[in-house]
Amino acid sequence: MNKWFKSGSPWIWMTGGAVSLSLIAVLGLLLLIAWRGLSYFWPAEVYEWQLRDSSGSESTLIGQLYDREQVPTARLESAGYEFNPYPGEFVTRYLVKTGNREFVGLDFRWVLGTDIVSESLPKDLAVFERTKNGNFYGYPVAVIEDGKRLPADNLRVMLKEHVQRAVDLNDDAMTLQKQDIGSINYELERLRLKERGYELDGELTDTRKTELELARQALNDEYKVLETELFALREAAGRDGVVVRDMRGQEVTLNLSQVLDVTYPNDMGLMTKVGHWFKSVGGFIIDDPREANTEGGVFPAIFGTVFMVMLMAVIVTPFGVIAAIYLHEYAKKGPVTKMIRIAVINLAGVPSIVYGVFGLGFFVYMLGGSLDQLFYPEALPAPTFGSPGVIWSALTLAILTLPVVIVSTEEGLSRIPSAVRQGSLALGATKAETLWRIVIPMASPAIMTGLILAVARAAGEVAPLMLVGVVKLAPTLPIDMNFPFVHLERKFMHLGFHIYDVGFQSPNVEAARPLVYATSFLLVTVIVALNLTAISVRNHLREKFRSLEH
């Protein structure tokens, strides 16, 4: 045994253990996010518990099981609980989501296992997903149409139809408000800026004044028509209601204009549940967030991330590729090249927050501020480009990801056999022609790899964006139907920041946590997929050139 120790074999095992631990950590992390993120969409059963606490008072509790933990009995006893009979050293404690926020105050509640008398899964229990106050749990009793209670036969079908009607009307109202009325407001603002612009230039003549006034009048008239329409739609949507018996045994009327969906999770088969799961995932991706981002979807965040990252890719690619070509094809060995290489390494190593600070000071305040003074004096003192926005975020991240593109492109260039270049030059092509016709096409997969890696890096970066353009809730997307259609100065939402914001800044962290896991999973999936693509492109490339070399 002693000899075995001396041979160092145990230490080899120790190093092996380190690898195993790293692997467990990586895979465990990915699994944890995947599990928590995906189970969020699974329709969980709604329980009905009969409770009796130590003082003997009984109550009913309806809700979804959220979490459970083992608590030492001693700790509970010291906190003032009494147990009779003694339940053992540990008591199970359940965290229950009770919903019905407007009636019970807190929509999460801890319940001791010892208090539970009975537990059931009634098939009639419904979950109402709502636009306000979170979920509602209860038994539907009747549908109210236009103030009249409808006969209760075939309740589920009737309820579904009425909910669908309200949802459709609400959708129409939302479209009207966001698109038509939104564009009128936008036009009005443009008119105001135009007037201010004339005023600043001293060209605000009376004819122009009347022209502007006429245009404004026309828009205001249009606005009034649309507004009436909007109110009509909203009123129509609020026509119906549903009577629900909640866990206190009281009948409560919910207005259907606030209800998004009604489900009966206890009455779902496996296939229905899978169907519902896919529907929820889809909704998560294409819906707007609700209730301070703690409910609903993440569409604006996805859109913002993708748009910003694409903008960044457009900026970073030419610079990165040119720099790599310089380093590999043109630069002579010398102090300048060495300095550039050190610059590249350092650009890759500088903390991202420093880029944020630089971006805020240089791009936003200095460049943006100057742009505002030159081109948008009429909007001042309200900044146009002089405040954080998507273009500045893209620029900042472009510098941040520049080294990624350079390193990857250079690697691709170094894999191209020099015989290929020499052949081209020998046939009389100039260096530029060789570059353009031979080298760059051959290196294009490597450039692609660099680009993908840069995009993956940018998509996950949050710290600099907090300074140069990201917000928790952007009222409008950077692209819309209003001229000039692409608004580079606007602030945007970002998946990574969404995680930070909802997880740490939201008023109801408990309720928001599953959503954060789901968002995390989405982001991780995108980034890991991008990286895997890049790796496979690179490996493919290596194989291809290896065959070329022989």
Partner 1 sequence: MEQSLPGAAHSILKAGHRTSRRAFTDKATAVGVTVGGIMVFVALLLIFFYLLYVVKPIFDSAEVEPVTEVSYQQTQSKALMVGSDEQNEILYRVADSGLVEFFRAVDGKSLGEFKPTLPAGVTVTSAAVATAAEQKYALGLSDGSVLLVKVDFGVTYPDNVRLITPRLRYPEGQQPMAVTKDGSEVRDLSFGYASDKMTFSYRDSNGNWAITRMSGEENMLTEEVEWVSEHETIPDTPRQVTQQLMTPDQRQLLLHSGNRIFVYDIRYLDEISLMQVIEVKEPNTSITNISLLAGASSVLVSFDDGRVAQYFQVASDKGRLYREIRDFNAGGQVAAIAPEFFRKSFVTITPEGELSLHYTTSERDLFDKTFDLKDTKIMGFSPRASALVVDAGEKLHLFRVENDHPEVSWSALWQKVWYEGYPEPQYVWQSTSGSDDFEAKLSLMPLVFGTMKAAFYAMLFAVPLAIAGAVYTAYFMSPKVRGFVKPTVEIMEALPTVILGFLAGLWLAPLVEENLPGMVLLLILLPLTILATAVIWQVLPAAIKLKLPEEFKELFLVPILCLVGWAAFEFSPVLELWLFDGDTRQYITNELGITFDQRNALVVGIAMGFAVIPTIFSIAEDAVFSVPRHLSNGSLALGATPWQTLTRVVLLTASPGIFSAVMMGLGRAVGETMIVLMATGNTPIMEWSVFEGMRTLAANIAVEMPESAIGSTHYRVLFLAAFVLFVFTFCFNTLAEVVRQRLRERYSSL
From 116, 243, 343, 473, residue interacting with partner 1 (rule: CB under 8 A): 343
C-beta of 54 vs 346, nearer to partner 1: 346
Q: Is 110 in the site for partner 1 (CB under 8 A)?
A: no
Q: Which of residues 194-253 bind partner 1 (CB under 8 A)?
A: none
Q: Is 504 in the site for partner 1 (CB under 8 A)?
A: yes
Count of CB atoms situated within 10 Å of the CB of 499: 21
Q: Is 302 in the site for partner 1 (CB under 8 A)?
A: no
C-beta of 166 vs 400, nearer to partner 1: 400
- Measure the CA–CA gap between 233 and 174, rounded to whole angstroms: 10
Reduced to 3 states, what is the DSSP secondary structure of residue 121? coil
Buried/exposed code over 56-86 (b: 16+ C-beta within 10 A; e: otherwise): eeeeebbbbbbeeeebebeebeeeebeeeee
C-beta of 58 vs 69, nearer to partner 1: 69
Count of CB atoms situated within 10 Å of the CB of 318: 10
C-beta of 2 vs 55, nearer to partner 1: 2
| Cβ neighbourhood burial of 135 (10 Å; 0-12, 13-18, 19+) | buried
Q: Is 509 in the site for partner 1 (CB under 8 A)?
A: yes
Q: Which residue reads 């405040």 in tokens? A: 387
Rounded least distance, CB 13 to partner 1, Å: 4
From 350, 380, 425, 479, residue interacting with partner 1 (rule: CB under 8 A): 350
* Strands of 74-219, DSSP E: 90-97, 108-112, 116-120, 126-130, 136-145, 148-149
Q: Is 416 in the site for partner 1 (CB under 8 A)?
A: no
Compute the chain's Rg from CA coordinates: 31
Q: Is 327 in the site for partner 1 (CB under 8 A)?
A: yes
Buried/exposed code over 210-239 (b: 16+ C-beta within 10 A; e: otherwise): eebeeeeeebeeebeeeeeebeebbebbeb
Q: Which of residues 30-89 bind partner 1 (CB under 8 A)?
A: 32-33, 69-70, 72, 74-75, 89
Q: Which of residues 355-374 bind partner 1 (CB under 8 A)?
A: 355-358, 360-362, 365
- Measure the CA–CA gap between 189 and 184, rounded to whole angstroms: 9
DSSP string, 338-352: HHHHHHHHHHHHS-H
Tokens read off for 177: 């408000």
Q: Is 314 in the site for partner 1 (CB under 8 A)?
A: no
Helix ranges restricted to H, 7-135: 9-39, 73-78, 101-104
CA distances from 162 to 20, 87, 158 (A): 56, 48, 6
- Measure the CA–CA gap between 297 and 308, rounded to whole angstroms: 19
Q: Which of residues 160-189 bind partner 1 (CB under 8 A)?
A: none
From 288, 341, 371, 438, residue interacting with partner 1 (rule: CB under 8 A): 341
Q: Is 459 in the site for partner 1 (CB under 8 A)?
A: yes
Q: Is 130 in the site for partner 1 (CB under 8 A)?
A: no
Rounded least distance, CB 361 to partner 1, Å: 6
Rounded least distance, CB 463 to partner 1, Å: 4
C-beta of 313 vs 327, nearer to partner 1: 327
Rounded least distance, CB 350 to partner 1, Å: 6
Q: Is 347 in the site for partner 1 (CB under 8 A)?
A: yes
From 339, 419, 486, 548, residue interacting with partner 1 (rule: CB under 8 A): 339
C-beta of 262 vs 344, nearer to partner 1: 344
From 154, 189, 430, 437, residue interacting with partner 1 (rule: CB under 8 A): 430
